[in-house]
Amino acid sequence: MTIDPGAVARPTGRSYLARRRRTGTLLVLPALAVLALILALPIAASLALSLMDADTADFRFGVFVGLDNYRTLFADPVFALALRNSIYWMVVEVAVVVVVALWFALLLNHPMGRWSVFRIILLVPWALAPVANAVLWKWIYNSSYGILNFLGTATGVLPDPVVWLGDPGLALNALLVAEIWKEIPFITLLLLAGLQNVPRILYRASRLDGAGPWQTFRFVTLPQLRTTILICIVLQSIWALKSFDLVYVLTRGGPANATTMLNFLAYRVSFQFGNLGLGAAVADILFFVMFLLALAYVRVFRPARAAERGVA
Amino acid sequence: MADVELRAITKRYGAVEACADVNLHVADGEFVTLLGPSGCGKTTTLNIIAGLDEPTSGEVLMGGKVVNDLTPYERDVAMVFQNYALYPHMSVADNIGFTLRLRKRPRDEIRRRVQTVAEMLELAHVLERLPRELSGGQQQRVALGRAVIREPAVFLFDEPFSNLDAALRVKMRVEVKELHQRLGITSLFVTHDQEEALSLSDRIAIMRDGHVEQVGTPDDVYAQPRTRYVARFIGSPQMDIFTGRLERRDGITAYVVGSAAFEIPGEAAPTCDGELDMGVRAEHVRLNAGGIPMPVRVVQPLGSMTYVTIGWDEELLTSRLLGMAHFSPGEAVTVSLDPAGLLFFDRESGRRVLPDGALA
Amino acid sequence: MSRRGRARTRRIGIGLGLALFVAWTLAPIVWALISSFLPLRALTSTPPDLAPGNFTLENYLGVLSADRDLIGGLRNSAIVASFTAVLALLIGSSAAYALARLRVPGGGKILMLILVTQMFPAMVIIIPLFIVLSRTGLTDSQVGLMIVYLSFVLPIVIWVLKGFFEAVPRELERAAAVDGASTMQVFRLVVLPISLPPLFATGVFAFIEAWNEFFFAVILTQSSAKTAPVVVAEFSGQYVSLYGQMVAAAAIASIPVIVLAIVFRRYILEGFVEGAVKG
C-alpha cells in the first residue's frame, strides 16, 4: 500500500520530534500568557510603584521618588517592629510545626498508627478555610466566654481570665498557636510520605546491629529524611510569611502593632492609609525575602533530586 | 512495499554514542533482525527507522527516498512494541481500528476490516474486551492486529515477545513467521534472543556498542561468524572458545590449550602465525572416537539430546550428543574435534581468520 | 525490664501519643461544632451549659436567613471556585503535558519559574490588579475574581499534572503517532482519557484552594460578588457577640470543602504530598 498523503497530516517536511516540540510550544503559550499578564506584569508594576509617591488609585499620577519610600520604611519604627514580628513569627512557626509534625509523622508511621482514620483527621485542619480557622480561634480565645479561659480558670491554671488577643505581650503568640495548629497536618503528610520512602531494610539492618529506637531514629531515619525536612522548612517559612487571614480577622494588626507583620503592614499602608507607593515598597521587601527563600528551595531541591536519581 | 536503507546512521546522546555509523540495506519483503544485548543500539536504530527518533547524522531511505523528515505514519511503517502499548481505555476492536478512525474511514469499513484482522489473529471473540482483561498472548496479538490493519510498507518489531513466557514465545514466533510468509511485508525485528533471530530472519544484523558486527543469513552468522563476538553470541549452547597456541612439529599442527593438544589436519589448519583463539561448537566435539582422554565433568540430559561437558586443567568443553547418552561424572572418555567445525580468531582484533590467512 | 515489658511500655507510649495527636487536632473543631449547635444563653453561661436538651439548629437557621449574605456568599464561592478550577484545568493540563512530554524549548526554566510563583505574597500583585480591574469594571465581579484566582491556581495545577503526565508510558504516545495521530490527537484521544482520575483530583484541589481564598476576595469584592470566606469574616466582626452564629457560619463555609477533601483524599494524599517530596 502506498502512502496516502492526504489521509492524515499533510507532510510538511517536519519530523515527529519537531512537530511535538512545535505543538508543545503552542500548548504552553496560553498558560504563559495568563501568568505573564496576571503575575509577571503586576510584579513589575509593583516594583515600579514602590519607586513612586502615589496616593491615588491610579498610580500613573504618581511622582517618581526613587528610593524615598524605602528610606522612609527603614527609618520607621513600625516597619522595624513589623519586620521583627515577621521574623519571630516565621522562626517560631517553622520550628514548632516541623518538630511536632515530625513527631506526629513518626507516630502515624508506626504500625499502630496505620489506621486510615488518622489520615482523614489530618485533612480537616488542612481543608479548613483560613478564615474559618480564624473565627474558630476567635471563639476559643474569647475573654469572657471562650473555652480556653473557662478551662484555665476552672482548673486553676489561670488565676484570672486572660485577654488573649488584647494583650500586646500575648496576642502574637496566640495567633501563632492558631496558625501552628492549622499548618501541622500538611507538613505531617509531607514527612509521612518521606518516612514511607525510607527503605524498610535499613530498619531491619539497624535492629540486627542492636540499635535501640532512639539510635535508629538518629542514625537511620533522620539522615534519610534530611531532604524532606529541608523542603518542609523552606515551604513552611514561605507560607508563614504569607499569613494574612488570622491577623485580619482577629487583631487587625493590634494591639499596638503587636501583631502587625510585613504582609499586613503592606495591606494597611496601601488600603487604609492610601499610600500606594509605600505599601508597594513593603510588599516588595517581603517579596524579596520570600524570593530568597524560594531560591533556597530550588537549591535544596535540585541536587537532592539529582542525587536520588544517581546523577550527582 | 518498500526496501529500507540506512546510510551512516549515527546517534549521540551527549558523549554517549548509541549508534555509530550504521549501514544496512533491507530488501523489499525481507525479514531482517537486529540482534544484540541491551544497550547495543538496536532499539535506537529501530526508533530512527520508525521516525520516532532523529539521528545525529545519516539518512534513512525507504523505497529509494530519504524519509528523515517524515513522521512514522508518513513513512508508512507500523510498529509492534515490547510492552504492547495498547490503549487501555479502548476495546480490542477500537485499538485495532484506531488508525482507521483517525483517517476518518466510514464506520462499516472500519468494522469490516477490524473483523477480518481479528479473525486472522483469532481475536474475534474478544473484540469488545479491554486490554487489561486479556492474556499476555492475546494482548500481543492485538498489537499485531493494530499493525497488520495498516497494510504498511514496513513492519517494525521492538522485542515484542520479551514479556511472554517461553512456550508462548515460541508459538508467537511461528505466527509472526507465518504472517510474514503470507503478507510478504518488509520487516525489521529487534531482539536479544539469538534463537528468535535465527528462527525468524532472512538475514540477521548483529549489533554491539552501536556498531554492526555482521550482517548475514542465519547460516552465515552461525557457521561463518565474522568475529569472535558473533561466534559467541549466536548458537546455543555458546561456542567454546579457547585461548591457546598453535604448535607445528614434525609436520603436525596442533592447537595446545593447557595440557591438551588438539591435532588439526592440514586443510583445516590456519596458515598464519600470530596469536589465535580457537572455537568449536558442541556438535563438532566427538566423544569416544579417538583423541585425547579426558574425564567427564557434567552431564545434562535434555531428552532429545545430551550435553556432556568434559574438562582439563581450568578448561571446559561441551559436546552435544543426540538422544539420551549415559555418562557418569568422572568417567574417562576420549575427545576429538571435527576439523570442519574449527574456527580461528585473531586474538587481538577478534576477527575470524580464514583458511587462506586473511581476516574475515 | 524484660524485653516484652519494654515493648509494652513502648506500645502504651505510642498509644498515648496517638491519643494526644487526635485530641490536639480535633479538639478545636469538636468544640466549634458543639458551640454551633448551642444557643447563646448556653454558651454564655459559666460553665457552658452542655445539656443535650439545649442542642438546637437556631444558629444555622439564623445565619442562613436572607438578610445575612451567607447563601449569596456560598453561591459566589461555588461559581468562582468551579469556573476557576475548570479554566485552570483546561489551560494547565495542556501546558503540563507540553512541559512533561513535548520537550518545549526552555521547559525546565519555565517549570522552575512556575514553582517560584507559588512563593511570594499576593500583596505584591494586588494593587496593579486592582487598578486594572477597576478600570475594566471587573471589581466586585465573579469574572474578575476568577481571573485573579488563576494566578495562584494555575501554577499548582500545572505542577501537579506535570508529575502525572510524566508517568504516562512513552510507548503509548508512540503507538498512537505510528497509527497516524497528530500530537494534539495523541493528547486528546489517548493521554487525557487515561488521566481522568488525576485530572479530576487536581480539579478538586484547585476548587478547594479557590474556595478558601480570602485576601483577593476581601479586597476585590464589595457586595454582589462576596465569597463565603468574606461573609464569614464580616460576620465575625459585625455579629461578634452572636458566638454560636459566628461559628455556625464558619462551619457552613468550610464543610463543603472538608467533605470534598475527605472524599477525594486518596488522590490528594498521593498526588500532592508525593509531588512536593519528589517534585
Cα A132 from Cα C29, distance rounded (Å): 10
| Domain spanning C62-278: CATH superfamily | MetI-like (1.10.3720.10)
Q: Strand B211-216: give its sheet, edge to edge.
A: B77-80, B154-158, B186-191, B31-35, B203-208, B211-216
CB B280 within 8 A of CB B327: no
Is the CB of B259 inside 8 Å of chain A's CB atoms?
no
Cα C257 from Cα A127, distance rounded (Å): 6
Task: Give the position of cell 545430551.
Answer: B306
- Chain C residues closer than 8 Å to B83 by CB: 169, 171
| Helix (H) or strand (E) run with residue A237 in it | helix A222-242
Tell me which chain B residue has its CA closest to the CA of residue A16.
B71
* Cis peptide leading into residue B55 (ω within 30°): no
Cα C273 from Cα C279, distance rounded (Å): 9
Cα B52 from Cα A266, distance rounded (Å): 54
Tell me which chain A residue has its CA closest to the CA of residue B51.
A16
Say if residue A298's pLDDT is above 80.
no
Buried b (16+ CB within 10 A) or exposed e, B240-277: bebebebeeeeeebbbebeebbbebeeebbbeeeeebb
- The pLDDT, as a whole number, for residue C47 is 77
DSSP letter (8 states) at residue C135: H
**Among the partner residues A46, A112, A120, nearest to C128 by beta-carbon distance:** A46
Pairwise CB contact (< 8 Å): C180 & B87: no
Average pLDDT for A16-40:
92
Average pLDDT for C159-180:
92
Within 13 Å and on the Cβ side, how many CA atoms surround C150? 26
- Chain A residues closer than 8 Å to C35 by CB: 139
Closest-CA distance of chain A to residue B110, Å: 15
Alpha helices (runs of H) in chain B, residue ranges in sequence order: 42-50, 92-102, 107-120, 136-148, 166-183, 194-200, 218-223, 228-233
Report chain B residues touching chain C, CB-CB < 8 A.
Answer: 50, 52, 71-73, 77-79, 81-83, 85-89, 98-99, 102-103, 146, 150
Pick from B75, B87, B101, B157 the residue to mutate for testing the C interface (most C CBs within 10 Å).
B87
Pairwise CB contact (< 8 Å): C187 & A27: yes
Count the neighbouring beta carbons within 10 Å of the beta carbon of residue C104. Answer: 24
Closest-CA distance of chain C to residue A146, Å: 9
DSSP letter (8 states) at residue C53: G
Pairwise CB contact (< 8 Å): B85 & C171: yes
Cα B32 from Cα B4, distance rounded (Å): 10
CB C91 within 8 A of CB C114: no
**Among the partner residues C10, C125, C232, nearest to A46 by beta-carbon distance:** C125
Cα B220 from Cα B225, distance rounded (Å): 7
Burial grade of C95 (CB within 10 A; 0-12, 13-18, 19 or more): buried
Under 8 Å CB pairs connecting chains B and C tally to 51
**Among the partner residues A20, A125, A228, nearest to C25 by beta-carbon distance:** A125
Pairwise CB contact (< 8 Å): C177 & B71: yes
- Chain C residues closer than 8 Å to A283 by CB: 121, 123-124, 127
∠ CA A55-C121-A123, nearest 5°, is 140
∠ CA C102-C104-C105, nearest 5°, is 150
Share of chain C above pLDDT 90, in %: 47
- Chain B residues closer than 8 Å to C194 by CB: 87-89
Q: Which of A176, A171, A168, A146 is nearest to A158 (CA)?
A: A146
Closest-CA distance of chain C to residue B79, Å: 7
Q: Which of B92, A8, B155 is nearest to C177 (CA)?
A: A8
Res. A302 pLDDT band, cuts 50 70 90: low
What phi and psi, each to the nearest 5 degrees, are found at residue A98?
A: -65, -45
Cα A148 from Cα A108, distance rounded (Å): 28
Of A74-83, A228-237, B24-33, B217-226, the poorest mean pLDDT is in: A228-237
- Domains annotated for chain B, with CATH where assigned, are 4-233 (3.40.50.300), 240-353 (2.40.50.140)
Pairwise CB contact (< 8 Å): B103 & A19: no
- Chain A residues closer than 8 Å to B72 by CB: 16
Q: What are the distances in angstroms from CA B179 to CA A178, B295, B298?
A: 72, 48, 41
Burial grade of B108 (CB within 10 A; 0-12, 13-18, 19 or more): exposed
Q: Where on the phi/psi map is residue C249: left (φ > 0), alpha (ψ -120 to 50), or beta?
A: alpha
Task: Give the position of cell 513518626.
Answer: A106
Any chains having at least 3 CB pairs less than 8 A from chain B are A, C
CB C153 within 8 A of CB A31: no
Q: What is the pLDDT of residues A121-165, one digit of tens each?
A: 999 999 999 999 999 999 999 888 888 888 888 888 888 888 888
Give C 63-102 residues with CB within 8 A of chain A.
91-92, 94-95, 97-99, 101-102
Chain centroid to Cα B226, Å, comes to 15
- The pLDDT, as a whole number, for residue A312 is 34
- Chain B residues closer than 8 Å to A14 by CB: 69, 71
- The pLDDT, as a whole number, for residue C275 is 59
DSSP letter (8 states) at residue B316: E
| Pairing of the two strands B186-191 and B154-158 | parallel
Closest-CA distance of chain B to residue C184, Å: 12
Burial grade of B182 (CB within 10 A; 0-12, 13-18, 19 or more): exposed
Closest-CA distance of chain A to residue C95, Å: 4
Pick from C179, C182, C199 the residue to mutate for testing the B interface (most B CBs within 10 Å).
C179
- The pLDDT, as a whole number, for residue A305 is 56
**Among the partner residues A1, A13, A17, nearest to B151 by beta-carbon distance:** A1
Is the CB of C10 inside 8 Å of chain A's CB atoms?
yes
Q: What is the pLDDT of residues C60-107, one digit of tens each?
A: 888 888 666 888 999 999 999 999 999 999 999 999 999 999 989 888
Say if residue C128's pLDDT is above 70.
yes
**Among the partner residues B79, B82, B87, nearest to C172 by beta-carbon distance:** B87
Q: What are the distances in angstroms from CA A77 to CA A68, A80, A173, C174, C175?
A: 16, 5, 21, 64, 66
Res. A12 pLDDT band, cuts 50 70 90: very low
| Pairing of the two strands B315-322 and B305-312 | antiparallel
Share of chain A above pLDDT 90, in %: 37
Tell me which chain B residue has its CA closest to the CA of residue A13.
B69
Pairwise CB contact (< 8 Å): A11 & B74: yes
Examine the predicted complex and report whether its ipTM is higher than 0.90: no
Any chains having at least 3 CB pairs less than 8 A from chain C are A, B
Give A 5-24 residues with CB within 8 A of chain B.
5, 7-9, 11, 13-17, 19
> What 3-state class would DSSP assign to C97?
helix
Give A 271-290 residues with CB within 8 A of chain B.
none
What's this model's pTM, rounded to 2 decimal places? 0.85
Q: Which of A144, A175, A185, A140 is nearest to A161 (CA)?
A: A144
Residues in chain C: 279
Cα B96 from Cα B101, distance rounded (Å): 10
Pairwise CB contact (< 8 Å): A267 & C208: no
- Chain B residues closer than 8 Å to A10 by CB: none
Average pLDDT for C109-115:
85
Average pLDDT for C133-154:
90
Say if residue A291's pLDDT is above 80.
yes
> What 3-state class would DSSP assign to B178?
helix
Res. A306 pLDDT band, cuts 50 70 90: low
- Domains annotated for chain A, with CATH where assigned, are 17-49 (no CATH), 69-308 (1.10.3720.10)
Q: How large is the C-alpha radius of gyration of chain B?
A: 24
- Chain A residues closer than 8 Å to C159 by CB: none
Pairwise CB contact (< 8 Å): A30 & C246: no
- Chain B residues closer than 8 Å to A15 by CB: 51, 54, 68-71
Pairwise CB contact (< 8 Å): C119 & A41: no
| Pairing of the two strands B285-301 and B332-337 | antiparallel
Any chains having at least 3 CB pairs less than 8 A from chain A are B, C
Is the CB of C260 inside 8 Å of chain A's CB atoms?
yes
Within 13 Å and on the Cβ side, how many CA atoms surround A234? 23
Pairwise CB contact (< 8 Å): A15 & B102: no
Average pLDDT for A223-237:
87
Tell me which chain B residue has its CA closest to the CA of residue C181.
B102
Pairwise CB contact (< 8 Å): A14 & B69: yes
Say if residue A112's pLDDT is above 50.
yes
- Chain B residues closer than 8 Å to C178 by CB: 50, 52, 72-73, 77-79
Q: What is the pLDDT of residues A196-210, one digit of tens each?
A: 888 888 888 888 888
Tell me which chain A residue has its CA closest to the CA of residue C128.
A42
Domain ranges of chain C: 3-60, 62-278
- The pLDDT, as a whole number, for residue B325 is 85
| Helix (H) or strand (E) run with residue A246 in it | helix A245-250
Check residues B24 and C50 and name the one with the higher pLDDT: B24
Q: What is the pLDDT of residues B171-200, one digit of tens each?
A: 999 999 999 999 999 999 999 999 999 999
Q: How large is the C-alpha radius of gyration of chain C?
A: 24
Q: What is the pLDDT of residues B101-123, one digit of tens each?
A: 999 999 999 999 999 999 999 99
Q: Strand B245-249: give its sheet, edge to edge.
A: B245-249, B252-257, B260-264
- Chain B residues closer than 8 Å to C179 by CB: 73, 98-99, 102, 146, 150
Pairwise CB contact (< 8 Å): A15 & B71: yes
∠ CA C23-C29-C32, nearest 5°, is 130
